[in-house]
Structure 1
Amino acid sequence: MKHFWTSMILLGISGQVLAQRAVKIDVRMFASNAGHWYGIKDDHNVIGPKKDQPKYKPTQLREIGDNILLFQKNNGGWAKNYDIMAILTPVQKDSINNDKSNLNTTFDNGTSYTHVTGLAQIYEATQDQKYADGAIKGINFILDAQYGNGGWPQYFPLQKGYSRHITFNDDAYVGIMNTLKDIRDDRTRYGFVNGALRDRVSKAYDKGLECILNSQINDFGEVTAWCQQHDEVTLQPDWARAYEMPSICNAESAGIVQLLMDIDQPSARVVNAVKNAVNWFNESKIEGIRVKTVQAAPDTSRYTVSRVDRVVVQDPAAPPIWARFYELQTHRPIFCNRDGKIVYSLAEVARERRSGYGWYTYNPQKVLDRYPAWAKKWNVTE
């Protein structure tokens, strides 16, 4: 009897420990989607948020997993800009369920590849096969969307316009590649992926890497970095939205270089790509300025109401900063308005775009900070 009660006490303690260590989903990967759903009215969305829409807690794995499956389209992908943490009403659920054949599926704003990751996390904790099945459908969607040259479009099935371009914007490409790498390497969380599918994933990752290396911009003999988007056939930098011009884009390029630096036993091509990008980051850094956000009178446009402004101020003590875009050939920092007109200072950008878009970045500093240890590890010399 004594042993029985001892066992019950230990079980009780174990239960408390498990409760304290409750598994929860990493909701940060869905932040862009949720932020757009709540913050930007999109007529393409089937449902909009209700006032004070309640949310699931990150530990409510089955409820979140069921939401992810509900939002999954018939082709295995997902539409963007919904909050998978939202506790949906029956009417909202019906609307989403009835829209599954509308294949507006995308990788934009951290979509589809994050949903695969989320389902894998939930399957690992619950061992419920339906979440593994949903993840497998999502993996196949990613593989089906890949171009023959290894790149990925922003939307799949393909649509008209710039969304057909190979898209590095907002780290979509990097997110896909990191997901594929996890699937290839992580046999615990992705243990449900069979050998044949894992082999397809590995080949897709290798093709994706080849496309990255082939897309690095050689600007009249100087190898630099990457654009936000590249033509899906020629791999040359290309236009996306009217204010996202063909250019060398340091914000997204930093994420690409970080991905390359994560490769174990990098090839000579990978090493050279990293070295050239690091040289470019050093060449293109801007010193002695910072971008200051200031309160300003409300400015109403067709897109939003801006209550702040952004100005460039001189500051000798400021850390290095980089423009998001650099002009091809001249390598001057460039900016742009919604009319597609390129300008050469932030002050020339209309207020709505000046305050509503990230024209400067500190991302390359993460690469420069990491580079010495990486170079030493792989015996990289100048």
Structure 2
Amino acid sequence: MLHIRNGHIFKVAIITSFLGVFAGNAPAIAQDSGHGTPKMAREWRNFVKEKSEIWYASPEAANIANNILLYQRSCGGWPKNIRMDEPLSDSQIAAVTDEKEVTQDATIDNGATTTELTFLAKIFNVTHRDEYRSAFQKGFLFLQKMQLANGGWPQFYDRKGYYTHITYNDNAMVNVMNLLKKIADRDTVFTRITTDENAETAKKMFDKGIDCILKTQIIVDGKPTVWCAQHDEVTLLPAKARAYELPSFSGSESAEIVVLLMSIPNPSPEVINAVNGAMAWFDKTKIVGKRLDEITNVEGKKDRRMVDDPSATPLWARFYNLDDMRPFVCDRDGVKKYDISEIGYERRNGYAWYGEWPLRLYPKYDKWQRKIKKVK
């Protein structure tokens, strides 16, 4: 666990929390507005979420399911940023088939694997086809194999470089844990395609994941705050990923972690303390009186700038310094800057540096607090 006291960062021994719950430098794909996940990945996730139960009995759904089966790697996972609903030509089918044994791109990043597993569960509920159940079970096993001994999940199956880190970035680990919670809770979407043994396994995996979340929460002057987008597999300290993703407090990924923690029924004192600490940190670090403006620059291109606006909705930065909690941005050279205008056009517009991510937590937090008080 990382402790910060009086601005000085140091590591302390990690004490496993008792849980009374069931408990790089390569160029990135260009992002658009939103959390930071590529548009195609978000559209694919929304596609799966929005389709009705009746639609899953359609020929179109069956064709998409065939694509999902085709893209599933031999290790059980799927590659990211693929619209599985797009028809494939014969040559494309042959190319994907040839890549079946490739495991380097099997990932949980950008909703990959968890989205495909959800689709398989939904189509199995109306078709009962064994190949969908088999593919789902293989994918579920993939998530088991991916989980680290410390309870976290890395971004990719084949781990090297920063892919070895516990990955909260773009909600990779949270997406997995939300899926596991549904399986463990016997959510109706997953009851037919899973077994009671699967549910028990999912519960244990979820418990380990929560323990990892509690152990990686950054402590400042004895108080829990939030998390980095990724943490070292061994030390559990905040870790660097791509050149512009430096060790920091995360205003984005931490919000989704808090949503997950608040979804736990009968939370332990450790979970309650973690949520309260994170919400206090969000309140302390919100940016007021500023607005991220979308403009057209002198070259006729869409651009971003930060402007003064006393009436603006509070914003949070994606990254904050670990020593003084100052918001920063960063170009591909890895040098911190404190004004978005100081980084190049490509990174300025190709990454979600500021957002309202924690804003939706406040009504949820008020409701959660009332519930906790009633239990006490």
TM-score, scaled to structure 1:
0.81
What is the match of residue 316 of structure 1?
310
CA deviation vs aligned residue, 1:317-365 (integer Å, no higher than 9, x gap): 1111111111002011111110000111111111111111111010111
| Structure 2 letter corresponding to 1:170 | D
CA deviation vs aligned residue, 1:82-120 (integer Å, no higher than 9, x gap): 210011001101110110001021111111111111110
What is the match of residue 143 of structure 1?
144
What is the match of residue 245 of structure 1?
246
What is the match of residue 348 of structure 1?
342
CA deviation vs aligned residue, 1:239-269 (integer Å, no higher than 9, x gap): 0111111000011100000000111111111
* Aligned partners of 1:286 and 1:320 also within 8 Å: yes
CA deviation vs aligned residue, 1:21-80 (integer Å, no higher than 9, x gap): xxxxxxxxxx95772699xxxxxxxxxxxxxxxxxx975221111111110011111111
| Structure 2 letter corresponding to 1:328 | L
What is the match of residue 174 of structure 2?
174
What is the match of residue 62 of structure 1?
62
CA-CA distance at 1:380 after TM superposition: 8.1
2:75 is aligned with 1:75? yes
* Aligned partners of 2:136 and 2:193 also within 8 Å: no
Q: Which has the larger radius of gyration?
A: 1
How many corresponding residue pairs? 325
Gapped runs of 5+ residues in structure 2?
Answer: 1-35, 44-54
What is the match of residue 334 of structure 1?
328
| Structure 2 letter corresponding to 1:308 | K
CA-CA distance at 1:193 after TM superposition: 1.7
| Structure 2 letter corresponding to 1:111 | A
Matches within 5 A, 1:47-126: 59=58, 60-104=60-104, 105-126=106-127
Closer, same or farther in 2 for the Cα pair 1:173/1:339, shift >3 Å?
same
State the superposition RMSD in angstroms. Answer: 2.1
Classify the secondary structure of the residue corresponding to 2:158: coil
What is the match of residue 377 of structure 1?
371
Matches within 5 A, 1:146-157: 146-157=147-158
**Selected match of 1:35 from 34, 37, 40:** 40
Which one scores higher on RCO, CA 8 angstroms, separation ≥ 6?
2
The range that moved more, 290-299 or 118-127, is 290-299
What is the match of residue 287 of structure 1?
288
* Aligned partners of 1:143 and 1:204 also within 8 Å: yes
Classify the secondary structure of the residue corresponding to 2:115: helix
Identity %: 41
| Structure 2 letter corresponding to 1:345 | D
Taking the aligned partners of 2:276 and 2:41, their CA distance within structure 1 comes to 36
| Structure 2 letter corresponding to 1:96 | V
What is the match of residue 265 of structure 1?
266
Taking the aligned partners of 2:195 and 2:374, their CA distance within structure 1 comes to 37
The range that moved more, 342-351 or 259-268, is 342-351
Closer, same or farther in 2 for the Cα pair 1:323/1:37, shift >3 Å?
closer
Taking the aligned partners of 1:244 and 1:324, their CA distance within structure 2 comes to 10
Closer, same or farther in 2 for the Cα pair 1:82/1:132, shift >3 Å?
same
CA-CA distance at 1:298 after TM superposition: 5.1
Taking the aligned partners of 1:357 and 1:337, their CA distance within structure 2 comes to 10
Taking the aligned partners of 1:364 and 1:182, their CA distance within structure 2 comes to 23
Classify the secondary structure of the residue corresponding to 2:276: helix
* Aligned partners of 1:34 and 1:83 also within 8 Å: no
Classify the secondary structure of the residue corresponding to 1:75: coil
CA-CA distance at 1:222 after TM superposition: 3.5
The range that moved more, 165-174 or 197-206, is 197-206
What is the match of residue 276 of structure 1?
277
Taking the aligned partners of 2:73 and 2:42, their CA distance within structure 1 comes to 18
Taking the aligned partners of 1:368 and 1:216, their CA distance within structure 2 comes to 20
Gapped runs of 5+ residues in structure 1?
Answer: 1-30, 39-56, 300-306
2:353 is aligned with 1:359? yes
